[in-house]
Structure 1
Amino acid sequence: WHIRSAITVFPQRSDGKHDFRIWNSQLIRYAGYQMPDGTIRGDPASLEFTQLCIDLGWKPRYGRFDVLPLILQADGQDPEVFEIPPNLVLEVTMEHPKYEWFQELGLRWYALPAVANMLLEVGGLEFPACPFNGWYM
Structure 2
Amino acid sequence: MSSRPFTIVIAAALQALLGLAAVLGGLYSLYSAVIGQVNDVMSAIPLAAAGLGVGALLVFVARGLWQLNDWARTPVFLTQLFLAVIAYYMFTGEQYAAAALLGAVAVAAGAAVLSPPSTAVLFPAAQEPRKKR
User: More strand per residue: 1 or 2?
Assistant: 1
Same fold judged by TM-score > 0.5? no
User: More helix per residue: 1 or 2?
Assistant: 2
Query: Between Structure 1 and Structure 2, whose CA radius of gyration is higher?
Result: 2
TM-score, normalisation: structure 1: 0.28
TM-score, normalisation: structure 2: 0.29
